[in-house]
Structure 1
């Protein structure tokens, strides 16, 4: 055999010692016996509504615990009249704070969400207002997305919602405040907080 004939000879594959070459892995997998899957059974789970009793837990409880606490506080306020909370607070965003593991929504205003323009600035403005202060929250029994709605004040009597509106970082929500904070809105604030203003208009159209 010449040198060129040796280079261009047809290549043949040696037979494998592990088995015949015509076995394909996907055929083996397809023919393997499968274990029957168990069908999950559905069951109704009811979230308990305990009596009004708060534990000294983490300021960021799980979602179910947050809802349970909020419903318990609101039910207590509806049965026995407005309830007062006092204590230092954690700030979630411009219109949500946490006192004694209960999430509280400031009544009558609408602040931008954290991912909206001016949302982070509204949060840190609320942090500056509440830092080192004992906040008093007057709970009336209303709920908003597993948060109790309350009017929150500082020791010197200032309304947190009013202070945030004065700084141009929240809007008066007339549907819930009756226009209580409208006079404190700076000029042009509804153009700046256009997403919050648009949310109020959409909510008004939905209700009517």
Structure 2
């Protein structure tokens, strides 16, 4: 992706759970598009949160706006500086799965 295709970018300053984080300078949380991670308090929730935290905490990310969800969160497809798609990395780790209802099998795991 070229930088002109990104809608926003910034440093991740807080991971909420396995599919949601805050970017410095944004007024709302970022929900990772195409990703479905277990909620905190459910089986696998802590592992998914730890995995996402290890992947993005303190790192710069670039995102493309995909939607705004019913909770007012930005739903973004996001990439790390090395070009890795965050959702793809989480799916590959086995701590989260593709959110097929919204992704349209983008990651090929539906």
Q: Same fold (TM over 0.5)?
A: yes
TM-score, normalising length from structure 1? 0.46
Distance 2:81 2:92 in 1: 18
Alignment correspondent of 2:73: 147
Alignment correspondent of 1:94: 18
| Of 70, 82, 98, the match for 1:156 | 82
Distance 2:8 2:61 in 1: 10
Distance 2:12 2:48 in 1: 19
Ranges in structure 2 where 5+ consecutive residues have no aligned partner: none
Structure index of larger Rg: 1
Alignment correspondent of 1:111: 37
Distance 1:164 1:129 in 2: 9
Between Structure 1 and Structure 2, the one with more helix by share is 1
Note if contact 2:30-2:74 (Cα within 8 Å) is conserved in structure 1: yes
Distance 2:9 2:45 in 1: 26
Q: How many residues align?
A: 103
SS class of match (1:182): coil
Note if contact 1:171-1:182 (Cα within 8 Å) is conserved in structure 2: no
TM-score, normalising length from structure 2? 0.83
Distance 2:98 2:12 in 1: 25
Distance 1:119 1:160 in 2: 17
SS class of match (1:91): strand
- Residue 121 of structure 1 and its aligned partner are, at CA, apart by 0.7
Ranges in structure 1 where 5+ consecutive residues have no aligned partner: 1-80, 186-208
SS class of match (1:98): strand
Distance 1:97 1:89 in 2: 8
Alignment correspondent of 1:121: 47
- Map 1:76-87 onto structure 2 (within 5 A): 83-87=7-11
Note if contact 2:12-2:21 (Cα within 8 Å) is conserved in structure 1: no
